[in-house]
Copies of this chain bind each other. A is one copy, B any other.
Amino acid sequence: MQRFINDPDNVVDDTVRGFVKAHRDLVRLSETNRRVVVSTHAPKNGRVGVVTGGGSGHEPAFIGYTGKGLVDAVAVGELFSSPTAKSFHDAIKEASGGAGVVCLYGNYAGDNMNVKMAQKLASKDGIEVAVVVANDDVCSAPPEEREKRRGVAGEIFMWKIGGAKANEGASLEEVRATAQKAIDNCRSIGVGLGPCTLPAVGHPNFQIEAGTMEVGIGHHGEPGIRVEPLKTATEVARDMAKIVLDDHALAAGTEVAVLVSGLGATPLNELYILNDTIEAEITGRGLTVYRTYVGNYFTSLEMVGATLTVLALDDELKRLLDAEARAPGFQG
């Protein structure tokens, strides 16, 4: 393992400590829970708080989206593991400004369980918690079972739009409904070219043979819909766009936001190569690209690969996407 780590069991604590030092103008550690990162712009009173959380190893997700106009508090899990119910609960308390808290997270069994428990605990504190569960990964279940799909990079749009709505002073129900609309309007797909290794394990927990790629891979190496010979970037991008857009079925003329994210070890230039074809495929279907994001927005340690997310926009979503945000992993 060619990695910059200390004790493999301390990777998350070491990461969070270095993260808070780097971005102390935007974030702080909770005083009561070292697995909760809090925005320096978290609501003191009167506006809805926004919480997320998830396993570590996806940086800048989740902690990097803590900041102004984005997420108020993040529950931090071990590498690729859900945060505890206590951490979600503590994050909710940190984000609470008296107007309720919305918890915007991804559809994974551990997170579902722990958020539910945290919601009950917060209820006893008198904090009303609404939830939105991201399920944008089109390859993780068929369309008729959308509720089983996993949440992937579409969560970034959910956080951005939910955070902006909360920042406008909307009610808990309004923030929940708008974040729900954002994720309902998202479809994502991942393609993996190489695995990643949890430091405490020391070897990859899945394999991708050289010369092949896994279409539809999940953020933790969950199997995709097929393994096939590695194609050219143009062909891969066409496949990714086709799978996402076939599932999305958007009317011609729809404006979309596009997010091409690396999974950790793919050079940025290759994401741009993918985007060249992705944009052509999108506009070829009569859609208009309103805004494009390319970079390492939601990673999986040093996995080689990329994800594509397409968000269908309306006037409200455009306004909220464009609203000012300032977080370590997202500015704009």
Chain A residues within CB distance 8 Å of chain B: 2-6, 11-12, 14-19, 21-23, 25, 56-57, 59-60, 64, 193-194, 208, 210, 213, 230, 232-234, 236-237, 258, 260, 264-277, 279, 289, 291-296, 299, 301-302, 304, 306, 328, 331-332
List B contacts of A234 (CB < 8 A): 6
- Contact with A14, one of B64, B276, B306 (Cβ below 8 angstroms): B276
- Contact with A265, one of B12, B265, B272, B328 (Cβ below 8 angstroms): B265
List B contacts of A331 (CB < 8 A): 331-332
Please tell me if the beta carbons of B275 and A59 are within 8 angstroms of each other in the complex: no
* A3 CA to B236 CA, complexed, in Å: 11
Q: How far is the CB of A80 from chain B (nearest CB, A)?
A: 12
Closest Cβ neighbor of A267 among chain B residues: B301
Please tell me if the beta carbons of A2 and B275 are within 8 angstroms of each other in the complex: no
Please tell me if the beta carbons of A2 and B304 are within 8 angstroms of each other in the complex: yes
Q: How far is the CB of A309 from chain B (nearest CB, A)?
A: 14
Copies, count = 2
- Contact with A299, one of B59, B208, B268, B332 (Cβ below 8 angstroms): B268
* A6 CA to B231 CA, complexed, in Å: 9
Closest Cβ neighbor of A16 among chain B residues: B272
Please tell me if the beta carbons of B274 and A2 are within 8 angstroms of each other in the complex: no
Q: How far is the CB of A98 from chain B (nearest CB, A)?
A: 31
Please tell me if the beta carbons of B267 and A21 are within 8 angstroms of each other in the complex: no
Which of A4, A260, A332 counts the most chain B CB atoms within 10 A? A4
Please tell me if the beta carbons of A276 and B233 are within 8 angstroms of each other in the complex: no
Please tell me if the beta carbons of B232 and A194 are within 8 angstroms of each other in the complex: no
On whether A269 and B193 interact (CB within 8 A), knowing A6-B234, A230-B2, A292-B22, the answer reads: no
On whether A18 and B276 interact (CB within 8 A), knowing A268-B296, A299-B267, the answer reads: yes
